[in-house]
């Protein structure tokens, strides 16, 4: 069983709408949690990183939250743009070990 | 700053053939990673180098996969012989050092391998 579960698996929204992606993890001991954006045909690019003591982090229209007690994180995208169409991968680190989620495939339609 | 370079970008081979991928990390990055990403899944770590030494190769299928980083800079990943299930994107990433709270991995564009 994967230690990092993401939902939904895929999502289609209209341009300009908001959306929220979920990440639940069981990785322990927790070091940090990153959200990556992976455009088609490209490698993942880091959007945000949060440690145990941080419960929210923003990067432009992207806002990540972390609840270390329930081991849940979310990535909220505001006012979506066509260029937001990509896979979003949640990665949880325990010491030097990184665990990748399967990703959420987001499609933004005009 | 130049990013992580990988070549080739695409490769199509028949099963039982051999293939090699090349990666040049960001200058000064001591740690280099190879990942396998099967369609619809997250990346899976195959091997991690610290300079020219192997840190973790626990998930590398050593009967057919090999990797080297002889001079502690660029690296090659080889598959010999390839199987159908090896069809995937092979991602290379590098970081300044291994571990650390804010240590970020920078990924290359990947090599898409199709085994027929």
Q: What is the DSSP code string of B12-53? A: EE-TT--EEEEEE--TT--EEEEEEE-TTS--EEEEEEETTE
What pairing do the DSSP bridges indicate for beta strands B5-7 and A62-67? Answer: unpaired
Each residue's pLDDT tens digit, A44-84: 999 999 988 889 999 999 999 999 999 999 999 999 999 99
Kindly tell me if the per-residue pLDDT of A32 is higher than 60.
Answer: yes
Check if the beta carbon of residue A91 is closer than 8 Å to that of residue A30.
no
**Residue B84 main-chain phi, psi, to 5 deg:** -55, -40
Quote the pLDDT of residue B2.
Answer: 77
Instruction: DSSP letter for A21, please.
Output: E
Check if the beta carbon of residue B78 is closer than 8 Å to that of residue B65.
yes
A32-39 average pLDDT score: 94
Cβ distance A44 to B43 less than 8 Å, yes or no, reads yes
- Model confidence at A1, pLDDT cuts 50, 70, 90, reads low
Question: Which candidate in B34, B42, B47 is best for mutational testing of the A interface (most A CBs within 10 A)?
Answer: B42
Residues of B within 8 A of A101 (CB-CB) are: 42
Consecutive 10-residue averages of pLDDT for chain B (116 residues): 90 97 94 94 93 91 94 94 96 82 84 97
Tokens 């051999």 appear where? Answer: B18
Instruction: DSSP letter for A49, please.
Output: E
Half-sphere exposure of A51 (CA within 13 A, CB side): 6
Q: What percent of chain A has pLDDT over 90?
A: 78
What pairing do the DSSP bridges indicate for beta strands A72-77 and A19-25? Answer: antiparallel
The mean pLDDT of chain A is 93
Cβ distance B101 to A89 less than 8 Å, yes or no, reads no
A88-94 average pLDDT score: 92
Quote the pLDDT of residue B102.
Answer: 63
Q: Read off the tokens for B58.
A: 């626990």
Instruction: DSSP letter for A84, please.
Output: G
Cβ distance B104 to A46 less than 8 Å, yes or no, reads yes
Cβ distance A43 to B108 less than 8 Å, yes or no, reads yes
- Model confidence at A104, pLDDT cuts 50, 70, 90, reads very high
Edge to edge, the sheet with strand A62-67 lists: A4-7, A19-25, A72-77, A62-67, A56-59
A77-96 average pLDDT score: 93
Kindly tell me if the per-residue pLDDT of A109 is higher than 90.
Answer: yes
Quote the pLDDT of residue B99.
Answer: 62
């Amino acid at each position: 069983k994967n230690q990092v579960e993401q939902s939904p698996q895929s999502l289609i929204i209209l341009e300009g709408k908001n959306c929220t992606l979920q990440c639940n993890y069981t990785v322990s001991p927790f070091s940090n949690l990153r959200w990556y954006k992976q455009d088609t045909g490209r490698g993942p690019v880091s959007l945000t990183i949060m440690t145990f003591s941080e419960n929210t982090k923003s990067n432009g229209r992207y806002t990540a939250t972390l609840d270390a007690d329930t081991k849940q994180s979310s990535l909220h995208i505001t006012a979506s743009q066509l260029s937001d169409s990509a896979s979003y991968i949640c990665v949880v680190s325990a010491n030097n070990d990184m665990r990748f989620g399967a990703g959420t495939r987001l499609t933004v339609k005009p | 700053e130049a990013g992580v370079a990988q070549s080739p970008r695409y490769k199509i081979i028949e099963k039982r053939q051999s293939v090699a991928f090349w990666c040049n990390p960001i200058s000064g990055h001591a740690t280099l990673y190879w990942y396998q990403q099967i369609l619809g899944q997250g990346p899976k770590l195959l091997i991690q180098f610290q300079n020219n030494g192997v840190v973790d190769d626990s998930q590398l299928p050593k009967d057919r996969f090999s990797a080297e980083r002889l001079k502690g800079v660029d690296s090659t990943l080889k598959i010999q012989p390839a199987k159908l299930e090896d069809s995937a994107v092979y991602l290379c990433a590098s970081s300044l050092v291994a571990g650390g709270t804010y240590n970020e991995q920078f990924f290359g564009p990947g090599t898409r391998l199709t085994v027929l």
